[in-house]
Structure 1
Amino acid sequence: MRGPFGRGWPLSAAAGSDVVVVAGGLGLAPLRPLIRAILRRRDDYGEVAVLVGSRTPADLLHRRELAGWQERADLQALVTIGACATAGGIQALRNFADVRGFLAAVYATPEYVSTLSTSTPISAHVRVDFELQGCPIDGRQLLEVISAFLAGRRPAISSSSVCTECKRRGTVCVMVAHGTPCLGPVTHAGCGAICPAYHRGCYGCFGPMESPNAPALTRQLKVLGMDDDDVDRVFQTFNAAAPAFRAASGGSEGGGNEGGGRSDHDD
């Protein structure tokens, strides 16, 4: 069901079916009447799941009502914090420095700014059943994950690297053919190898694949002319806090999953 662009929601058509409501930021406000309508006639539907996201916990709307939904036995409510849930996002660059220094450099009165000193993945705090990676995520993968969990099966999401996507679409390897530094060998598939298709190296938007060999790639990047600082920069982007990328860029080890797309609780 889609909205809220004046179309309404076909609740009668959803009767007897499972319902998943996904809302981000201000999007929860127009969806709240829909959720309330479903809960008033809860017996008309199968499984009901509500997924809500916001940049920070303080930015969540209707927190009191969300807490009430979470207490219901007949409603699954999962609150996700931002699009960077699997690896801390680009804001995890603060983990490599003193966040107070950043605040002083950016804001005239940093004492009025309240922020966390580190950015960590959700899996560092609570049990995670599956991690859907990407910045942004792939819409087809999202539909597959939702469908799989509603059907009670494991999502059919490939754990291979971007290199396999290059091979499938017939893209010549930019590292071999042109000597272009590329994170494709260690990056999780899902983007369709967009950057290599345009003769650019992969930037690692989808985070580390399940079993990345980052040390081997690092050696090849240095063969192509990168020094230690260059290597640090390519791994410290969208998924800087992912353990495999953090280790490759000289960061500390520990916490979370070494690869991506799976969690320690998959088996």
Structure 2
Amino acid sequence: MNLQTAHSSKPRVAVHKFSSCDGCQLSFLNLGEALLTLAERIDLVHFAEAGPLDPDTGVDVAFVEGSVSTPEDLERIQRIRAHSGLLIAIGACATSGGIQGLRNQAKDAEWVAQIYSHPEAIASLERSTPISSHVKVDFELWGCPVSGPQMLAVINALLLGVTPRDNVDKVCTECKRQGYPCVMVTHGIACMGPVTRAGCGALCPSLGRDCYGCYGPAENANTDALAIQFSHLGLMPEAIVRRFQSINSQAPVFLAAADKLRTDAHD
């Protein structure tokens, strides 16, 4: 996996947006000077948020933000995949359906009617789904949003011909490395850190707040044990379900944990 091209020109890169809030694209733009330096090494041919527009051009790598939520999204992701050497999904929406994936638990017609005065004008798929549900994804970068340095590290790895590192460590490991006290142990705060992948620098725990699971499930996430701990901290079953059914609600590990909690509550 690399950005080495068969031609002498710089690798061609595109950044595409689907159903999302633009946060991951903004993280890329917020690199500032580092982005200008990167622009000397790659040819950024499509990035609507930054200016260049050429959505159907062939590229060496395409970064895709957002979930597939509309019929138009479904058609467009197929075109992007066909025109891209590598496709990298960035952010919670692209990797797990995002916050809009919460509607997957609702009856489609009902929630649309509750929000829009003319629901018949809304064209949406029954479910909000990650990019990998529809096309081959070569690498996933989790986070809500991803950080600029994360994206920069991925591109630099590809330029060197190295497979990017998938950080599946837990947020707890970042807290330990930084010397942050565990908010669950010291303050009795229900924290998703034990089951959430690292990458944010343990931002919330560094401020004495609990992790909300923005970066999705970590490797070997023991959701059963964490749910029991949350119960010991006084959270009711439905409150624990909401912890897993948040930003990455459709990530299989978190979805399974929420379903099990609901089932156990009704038994």
Q: Do the two structures share a fold, i.e. TM-score over 0.5? A: yes
* Residue 157 of structure 1, CA deviation: 3.5
Task: Confirm or deny that 1:22 pairs with 2:43.
Answer: no
Q: In structure 1, what residue type is equivalent to 2:48?
A: G
Whether contact under 8 Å (2:88, 2:140) holds in the other structure is no
Whether contact under 8 Å (1:88, 1:239) holds in the other structure is yes
1:116 is matched with 125
Whether contact under 8 Å (1:187, 1:204) holds in the other structure is yes
Q: In structure 2, what residue type is equivalent to 1:162?
A: V
1:113/1:183 CA distance change after superposition, 3 Å: same
TM-score, L = length of structure 2: 0.71
- Secondary structure, in 3 states, of the residue corresponding to 1:85? helix
Q: In structure 2, what residue type is equivalent to 1:120?
A: T
1:235 is matched with 244
1:185 is matched with 194
The whole-number CA distance in structure 2 between the counterparts of 1:82 and 1:196 is 21
Q: Deviations over 1:80-110 (max 9, x none)?
A: 6986110000111111121211112112221
The whole-number CA distance in structure 2 between the counterparts of 1:174 and 1:194 is 12
1:183/1:104 CA distance change after superposition, 3 Å: same
* Residue 114 of structure 1, CA deviation: 1.6
- Secondary structure, in 3 states, of the residue corresponding to 2:61? strand
1:182/1:91 CA distance change after superposition, 3 Å: same
1:49 is matched with 61
The whole-number CA distance in structure 1 between the counterparts of 2:219 and 2:117 is 43
The whole-number CA distance in structure 2 between the counterparts of 1:22 and 1:103 is 29
- Secondary structure, in 3 states, of the residue corresponding to 2:197? coil
1:154/1:245 CA distance change after superposition, 3 Å: same
1:226 is matched with 235
Q: In structure 1, what residue type is equivalent to 2:15?
A: V
Task: Confirm or deny that 1:87 pairs with 2:96.
Answer: yes
Match of 2:173 among 157, 164, 178: 164
* Residue 165 of structure 1, CA deviation: 0.7
TM-score, L = length of structure 1: 0.71
Match of 1:144 among 136, 141, 153: 153
* Residue 50 of structure 1, CA deviation: 4.3
Percentage of matched positions with identical amino acids: 44
The whole-number CA distance in structure 1 between the counterparts of 2:89 and 2:167 is 23
1:42 is matched with none
Of 181-190 and 23-32, deviating more is: 23-32
- Secondary structure, in 3 states, of the residue corresponding to 2:93? coil
2:163 is matched with 154
Q: Which runs of 5 or more residues in structure 2 are unaligned? A: 1-7, 19-46, 262-267
The whole-number CA distance in structure 2 between the counterparts of 1:83 and 1:134 is 5
RMSD of Structure 2 on Structure 1 (CA): 3.2
The whole-number CA distance in structure 1 between the counterparts of 2:88 and 2:158 is 16
- Secondary structure, in 3 states, of the residue corresponding to 1:20? strand
2:52 is matched with 31
Q: How many residues align?
A: 222
The whole-number CA distance in structure 1 between the counterparts of 2:133 and 2:93 is 13
- Secondary structure, in 3 states, of the residue corresponding to 2:102? helix
* Residue 234 of structure 1, CA deviation: 1.1
The whole-number CA distance in structure 1 between the counterparts of 2:202 and 2:91 is 24
Q: In structure 1, what residue type is equivalent to 2:61?
A: A
